[in-house]
Structure 1
Amino acid sequence: MSVAFTKEESSETAAETFLPDRPISPHPNLVTQAGLNALEAQLRQARADYDVANRIDDVNERRRQTAGPLRDTRYFASRVQSAQLMTAPASTDSVAFGSTVTFGRDDGRVQTYRIVGEDEADPKTGSMSFVSPVARALMGKGVGDVADIDGQEIEILVIA
Structure 2
Amino acid sequence: MSRAFVKEPEGGEAFEDLPDRPISPHANLVTPEGLAQIEAELAQWHDAHAQAQATQDRAAISHAGRELRYWTARRANAELVPPPEDPDEVHFGAAVTIDRADGRHQTWRIVGEDEADPTQGTLSFVSPLARALMGKRVGDTVMIGTAEVEIVAIG
Alignment TM-score, normalising by the size of structure 1: 0.88
Q: Distance in 2 between matches of 1:139 and 1:98?
A: 11
Match of 1:112 among 100, 107, 110: 107
What is aligned with 2:117?
Answer: 122
Q: Cα RMSD between the aligned structures? A: 2.0
For residues 2-151 of structure 1, the aligned pairs below 5 Å read: 8-10=7-9, 13-57=12-56, 62-151=57-146
Cα distance per residue 1:92-117 (max 9 Å; x no partner): 21100011100011222110011000
Distance 1:145 1:18, change over 3 A: same
Q: CA deviation at 1:145?
A: 0.5
The percent identity for this pair of structures is: 48
Q: CA deviation at 1:43?
A: 0.6
Aligned residues: 153
Q: Could you list the runs of 5+ residues in structure 1 that have no partner in the other structure?
A: none
* Secondary structure of 1:157's aligned partner: strand
Alignment TM-score, normalising by the size of structure 2: 0.91
Letter in structure 1 aligned against 2:121:
G
Contact 1:114–1:127 (CA under 8 A) maintained in structure 2: yes
* Secondary structure of 1:54's aligned partner: helix
Cα distance per residue 1:39-85 (max 9 Å; x no partner): 0110111011000000124xxxx211211110000000000000000
